[in-house]
Amino acid sequence: MSADTRRQKAERIRHLLDTEGDAVHENTQVFNEGRYESTANLDDYDELKNEARAIKEDAIERLPELVDQVTEAVEANGGSVYVADDAADANRYIEEVVDGRDVVKSKSMTSEEIEVNESLEARDGDVWETDLAEFVLQVADEAPSHIVAPAIHKSREEIAALFNEVFDPEEPLETAEELTRFAREYLGEKILDAEVGMTGANFVTADTGTLALVTSEGNARKCVQATDTHVAVAGVEKLVPSVEDLQPFVELIGRSGTGQDITSYISLFTPPSDSPTFGGNELESGDDREFHLVLIDNGRMEMREDDQLRETLYCIRCSACANSCANFQHVGGHAFGGETYSGGIATGWEAGVHGEDSAAEFNDLCTGCSRCVNQCPVNIDIPWINTVVRDRINRGEDGDFDFLVEGLTPDEEPGGVDLQKRLFGNFDTLAKLGSAFAPLSNWAARTGPARSLLERTLGVDSRRELPEFERESLVEWFEKRGPHVGRDEARRQVALYPDAYTNYVRTERGKAAVRVLEALDIRVDVPPAGESGRAPLSQGMVSTAQSNADAVYDALAPAIAAGHDVVVIEPSDLAMFHREYERLLPEDDYAALHEQSYELMEYVYGLLENGGDIDVLPGGDDERIAYHSHCQQRTLDLEPYTVAVLEDCGFDVTTSDVECCGMAGSFGYKSEYYELSVDVGETLVDEFTTEDTADRTVVASGTSCLEQLDALLTRRPAHPVRLLDTQ
Amino acid sequence: MSAEPIATFESSLDEVGVELVRTTADEFASTLSPLLDAPTVGTSLPFETVSLPDSVETDPSIADLEAAATGVTAAGYGIADYGSVIIQGGTDGEEPVSLYADEHVAVVAASDVLPDMDATFDQLAEDIRNGVGQSIIATGPSATADMGSLVTGAHGPMDVTVVLLEDK
């Protein structure tokens, strides 16, 4: 990416932060909190998710068979099914059916994917969006910024100004109620006049040809009831085998999306409907209604064959991955989206239906923080899809300037990977060199010309302080020092994993970890295991990540074989061991490392619970602490251990509840994303500068979180283990 | 039907802003009448013991539907866990009558209140296979947050009342 492209990207993001950021943030927060609350009320949330996942896996596996089955069912009911290869094919069929008549539509992202409105309008017919948000966008001529609430970026004031300008009502519209009444009446007439009703479908049951539509306004019901012809547009992946299969989805979709237990209307239509339709002034028999189900392939059958993208087809478009994403919450779908879809899973959809170029536009906004993973109602590993697509995008680029970094980047990647990505992806090498030449390297890196060169060539934002490398690494320090607990007196033996940051930059937390574990009678070793692969993985460099993973496993294997525990300070590296290594290591190796590895404070908690003497640790004496857990740590449900240990030691702890600090490894260093990163970080800062928190000591588990807090707060934050260290 | 699902039904309805009015066949007429704001449109009820008053227009024109203050229909089922009613529209016009009036009054028999979504989908699957073309699981009034804050009564009714017929 050139310096100019980075600058344009930064400008675009800055513009969206200024114009749409506040509205998007406010609305996504409501959805996000609503989801946590509503899903917590479900006794069998995980069970429902597993059930939904299993149904989707089965349906996609048997998709060709289900297409045949639904065709038979719909035709037996008196309707037609058309399977369209692509957008053009679908539009050609729909144009023939519509035949110049007026169309009223309910909300359908799939219809936006094929751009059916444009295609129909080119043929003289009127097309009206009757979902109120889609109507606003139609009037404003804008694209959706969210897959469920498409006008989420617009405030009431902006909508009022728009309507007053375009429709010039006798009394200017002002309140949400006035705007809603106006739109209802305006669209009511369009519904009355139209002859064709077009809907999407959230689900289609193969056994009976039933459409399930999840809505709240009632416009989809009206579009079907008031017209003579019903056209339903749905991706082929919307098929589920039977009516009974709808149950878990109906219980999950509203909760996962807008945080409602259920939306106002779940319509189960098995068309053609026999409800009376509108004639001139009277209701007349609906017996002659026509029904057309248009199933869209448009790349989906290829996604089905693709081992990495297949999971995308399980997506039920609930928007949980968007609402739980810190970057999305701040910038919205106009930046965090492609041609049609937005949010975390959009990378999969865009890569599959519109191609990698569309995904490349926004794919880097997924930082892999993993907050969406537990929120997805069908358990899609959304960060992994983003990583894989990033890897494919990397491989597709030209590699003219590779010689510049070739020597510095001993990675496994082919030519063509963006220089900035290779720099951050090879952090281990960089840190090793930085440490070897410290403090000279730190001084050199701080100089104006060096920073300006870094920004110009590699897009390392000069407003960020660079990490300062320690001359003596943690491993070197420990080699000289040796263990202080003898084998005979040790309760357990631990291999403390020296992640690259702890090893070369934040050695103090590594030393504190060694001393705290030793105080609890643990014999500690610090084996020279390299970078976990997190750094290259976050740049989409999967092969490099895999070779790092292999090397880390080799370095830890003797400890694992001896039955020692592996303790990890950096949560993003523990998350590698527990999540991504499943895809990178042989099954048995992954299982052994997963089984035997712990987050540092989780491990201390376990020691104290099993007879460890808490009195050897310093007492907290009611010291007031503000603790920010790490995003990936929270995904693994490991936040409570740190809080419990600190509280047991006598600290007074309050915690943040933002999804992510916004730094996310290298993300906040990149000049094109610096301002977004700071905007996300400011939300965390707001939580830590309230009346209750402003004077608290700040601790955070992740390196990135510490860097971000250090940059944005005047208090210097530290890793929580430092509170337990007597030195 | 034991009392427990009905109690759950009532509290779930309350959470979604819907009033539950209990009645029996004997008291049905006197219970219903104060709930119907004129003009009222409706569809005939499928229960043998009760019927709609003559003031209800059961063969409405489009203008009648749009002008209606109240639309009264039967609901095929209730769902206790969610406070939902299921409108099974057919040739009589349950769909437009429940959709166009400002308020929807849904009459459901206590014996048709199902406990949860599992039981509901077993029942609906059977109904669909028996030819029921349309079932709307309706929970609370129609609503939108698209215009800047939550508004009830988007394209559909802004109020819903459920009349529970305890002895169908």
Residues of A in contact with B63 (CB under 8 A): 281
Residue with tokens 């290594």: A581
DSSP state of A577: I
Subunit contact A275:B155, Cβ cutoff 8 A = no
Q: Supply the range of the domain harboring residue B114.
A: 3-165
> Is B25 in contact with B50 (CB distance < 8 Å)?
yes
Determine contact: B63 vs chain A, CB below 8 A.
yes
> Which tokens is A688 given?
């830590």
Under the banding of pLDDT at 50, 70 and 90, the label for residue B161 is very high
- Domains of chain A plus CATH, in order, are 1-41+308-396 (1.10.1060), 53-300 (3.40.50.10420), 474-724 (no CATH)
Q: What percent of chain A has pLDDT over 70?
A: 98
A274 with B153: Cβ contact below 8 A? no
The per-residue pLDDT for range A522-562, each reduced to its tens digit, is 999 999 999 999 999 999 999 999 999 999 999 999 999 99
Confidence (pLDDT) at B119: 97
Q: Which chain A positions have a beta carbon within 8 Å of B94's beta carbon?
A: 275
Lowest pLDDT segment from A264-278, A443-457, A656-670: A443-457
Q: Specify the pTM.
A: 0.95
**Among candidates A3, A6, A2, A5, which has minimal Cα distance to A675?**
A6
Looking at the complex, does the CB of residue B91 fall below 8 Å from at least one CB of chain A? yes
Query: What are the DSSP E strand ranges found in A106-184?
Result: 127-129
Average pLDDT over residues A115-121: 94
The single-letter code of the amino acid at A493 is: Q
Q: How far is B28 from chain A (nearest CA, A)?
A: 27
The H-or-E segment that residue A199 falls in is: strand A196-199
Count CB-CB contacts under 10 A for residue A694: 11
In the structure encoding, which two tokens stand for residue A407, read together? 């020597």
> Are B165 and B109 a contacting pair, CB within 8 Å?
yes
Provide, as residue numbers in chain A, all residues whose Cβ is less than 8 Å from the Cβ of B136: 221, 265-268
For residue A402, the model assigns a pLDDT of: 43
Rounded CA-CA distance A81/A90 in Å is 11
Task: Judge contact between A671 and A648, C-beta under 8 A.
Answer: no
Outline where A20-115 has alpha helix (H). Answer: 21-40, 45-61, 63-77, 87-98, 109-113
Confidence grade of residue A446 (pLDDT, cut at 50, 70, 90): confident
Question: Which candidate from B134, B142, B154 shows the least CB-CB separation from A269?
Answer: B134
Quote the tokens at residue B23: 């009645």
Each residue's pLDDT tens digit, A72-102: 999 999 999 999 999 999 999 999 999 999 9
Q: Read off the pLDDT of each residue in A22-43 and give the average, rounded to a whole number.
A: 96
Q: What is the pLDDT of residue A409?
A: 60
d(CA A515, CA A523): 10
| Distance separating alpha carbons of residues A433 and A414, to the nearest angstrom | 23
pLDDT at B148: 84
Q: Is B141 in Cβ contact with A275 (below 8 Å)?
A: no
A549 to chain B, minimum CA–CA distance in Å? Answer: 44
Task: Report the chain A residue with the minimal C-alpha distance to residue B120.
Answer: A247
User: Quick one: DSSP state of residue A455?
Assistant: I
CB-nearest to B121 from A187, A226, A246 is A246
Mean pLDDT confidence for B81-88: 98
For residues A197 and A224, the answer to whether their CB atoms sit within 8 Å is yes
CA distance B149 to A26: 11
Q: Does B71 reach chain A within 8 Å, measured CB to CB?
A: no
Q: Is residue A401 scored above 60 in pLDDT?
A: no
The closest alpha carbon to B111, from B162, B166, B72, B161, belongs to B166
Helix (H, G, I), strand (E, B) or coil at A273: coil
CB contact under 8 A, A243 and B124: yes
Q: Is the pLDDT of residue A338 over 50?
A: yes
Mean pLDDT score across all residues of chain A? 94
Chain A: residue whose CA lies nearest to B91: A275
Looking at this protein, which amino acid is placed at residue A580?
E
Mean pLDDT of B126-137: 96
| Average of per-residue pLDDT across A379-405 | 77
Structure confidence by residue, pLDDT tens digits, B51-77 = 999 999 999 999 999 999 999 999 999
pLDDT in tens, A682-713: 999 999 999 999 999 999 999 999 999 999 99
Nearest to A274 among B66, B91, B129 (CB): B91
The residue of chain A with its CA nearest to that of B18 is A264
- Please name every residue paired with B114 in a beta bridge, in sequence order, or none if there are none: B79
DSSP state of A310: G
pLDDT at B49 over 50: yes
Angle between helices A382-396 and A346-353 (to 10 degrees): 40
pLDDT digits (tens, 9 = 90+) for A474-506: 999 999 999 999 999 999 999 999 999 999 999
Number of domains making up chain B: 1
Task: Flag if B89 and A177 touch (Cβ within 8 Å).
Answer: no
Contact residues on chain A for B122, CB-CB shorter than 8 A: 244
DSSP helix/strand/coil, A269: strand
Residue in A202, A262, A284, A287 to test binding to B, most B beta-carbons within 10 Å: A262
Q: Sheet harboring B40-42: ordered strands across?
A: B19-23, B159-165, B103-109, B70-74, B40-42
Let me know: does A720 contact A701? Beta carbons within 8 Å. yes
Say if residue B160's pLDDT is above 50: yes
pLDDT interval class at A410 (50, 70, 90):
low
Q: In chain A, which residue's Cα lies nearest the Cα of B159? A: A264
A3 versus A591: which is more confidently predicted?
A591
Sorting pLDDT into bands at 50, 70 and 90, what band is A652?
A: very high
Q: Which helix (H) or strand (E) element contains residue B105?
A: strand B103-109
Chain B closest CA to A257's CA: distance in Å? 13
Q: B21 Cβ partners below 8 Å, 6+ apart?
A: B31, B35, B161, B162, B163, B164
Of A585, A507, A523, the closest CA to residue A552 belongs to A585
Determine the average pLDDT of the residues in A382-393: 96
Residue B66: its chain A contacts at CB < 8 A? 188
Instruction: Return the closest-CA partner of residue A143 out of A13, A335, A353, A318.
Output: A335
- Cβ-based neighbour number of residue A547 at 10 Å: 17
pLDDT at A398: 41
Q: How far is B86 from chain A (nearest CA, A)?
A: 9
What single DSSP character describes residue A258? T
3-class secondary structure, A206: coil
> Taking CB atoms and an 8 Å limit, are B61 and A133 in contact across chains?
no
Mean pLDDT value of segment A712-727:
95
Burial of A139 (0-12, 13-18, 19+ CB in 10 A): middle
Distance CA A675, CA A695 (A): 26
DSSP string over A363-380:
GGG-----TTTTT-TT--
CATH at residue B34: 3.40.50.10420
User: Which chain B residue is nearest to residue A266, measuring alpha carbons?
Assistant: B137
CA atoms within 13 Å, Cβ hemisphere of A15: 8
By residue count, chain B amounts to 168
CA distance B125 to chain A (A): 5
Find tokens 């403390």 and name the residue: A496
In this structure, what token pair is assigned to residue A117?
A: 């409105």
Q: Does B139 touch chain A (CB under 8 A)?
A: yes
Average pLDDT over residues A341-366: 97
Amino acid of residue A661: C
C-alpha distance from B44 to closest chain A C-alpha (Å):
15
Mean pLDDT of chain B: 95
Cβ atoms within 10 Å of B49's Cβ, excluding its own: 13
Q: How far apart, in whole angstroms, are the C-alpha atoms of residue B79 and residue B112? A: 9
At B163, is the secondary structure helix, strand, or coil?
A: strand
Q: How would DSSP label each residue in B1-52?
A: --HHHHHHHHHHHHHTT-EEEEE-TTTHHHHHGGG-PSSEEE-----TT---
Query: Does the pLDDT at position B151 exceed 80?
Result: yes
Q: What is d(CA A476, CA A489) in angstroms, rounded to the nearest whole number?
A: 25
Residues A153-181: pLDDT tens digits? 999 999 999 999 999 999 999 999 999 99
Size of interface A-B (CB pairs under 8 A): 174
- Cβ separation of B95 and A221 shorter than 8 Å? yes
Q: First and final CA of chain B: distance in angstroms? A: 12
Is a pLDDT exceeding 50 seen at residue A403? no
Q: Mark which residues 13-32 of B lie under 8 Å from A by CB.
A: none
- What proportion of chain A, given as a percentage, has pLDDT over 90? 87
Burial (Cβ within 10 Å: 0-12, 13-18, ≥19) of residue A175: middle
ipTM score assigned to the predicted complex: 0.97
From B3's Cα to the closest Cα of chain A, the distance in A is 22
CB–CB contact A157 B153 (8 Å): no
Q: CA–CA separation, A135 vs A146, rounded Å?
A: 14
Going by C-beta distance under 8 Å and a sequence separation of 6 or more, which residues neighbour residue A259? A30, A31, A32, A33, A34, A35, A36, A37, A38
Query: Looking at A47-51, A461-465, B73-77, which range is the least confident one?
Result: A461-465
Strand positions, DSSP E, A638-710: 652-655, 697-700
Give A233→chain B minimum CA distance, Å: 18
